[in-house]
Amino acid sequence: MFRARTSSPVSTRARGAIFGCFNKIFELSQGSYQPQLHDILANDDHTVALLHATARHGDKTLDQDYAFVFHIRNGQIAETWEAWTEGPAWNEFWS
């Protein structure tokens, strides 16, 4: 399961739709979306990826930090949570 705490047009909760969500991000940003990995933290139950993203969408710009939190169960990703430092700004960027 993929959980994003946003209501933007590029959000999804369906596990199989994650790659479609990423495709939509790159399409709407006309290829300008640039995620950069900052760090990874992990233990047996969770893996956290800390990232920073920049992008352009029309006349808007995105420049903020976010994280993916992966819940690991039986050696596989069971759930993924996405958290943006400025969720409302993320939603506004894609609107």
Domain spans in the chain, listed from the N-terminal domain onward: 2-94
What predicted TM-score, i.e. pTM, was given to this entire model? 0.77
Q: Cα angle at 74 between 72 and 75, to 5 degrees?
A: 65
The answer to whether 90 and 71 are in contact (CB under 8 A) is: no
Q: How confident is the model at residue 10, as a pLDDT?
A: 55
Does residue 9 contact residue 24 with C-beta atoms inside 8 Å? yes
Half-sphere exposure of 2 (CA within 13 A, CB side): 17
- For residues 19-48, average pLDDT: 92
Which CATH class name applies to 2-94? alpha beta
Give the model's pLDDT for residue 1. Answer: 47
Q: Which residues pair with 39 in a beta bridge?
A: 50
Task: Read off the pLDDT of residues 35-84 as tens digits, 9 standing for 90 and up.
Answer: 999 999 999 999 999 999 999 999 999 999 999 999 999 999 888 888 88
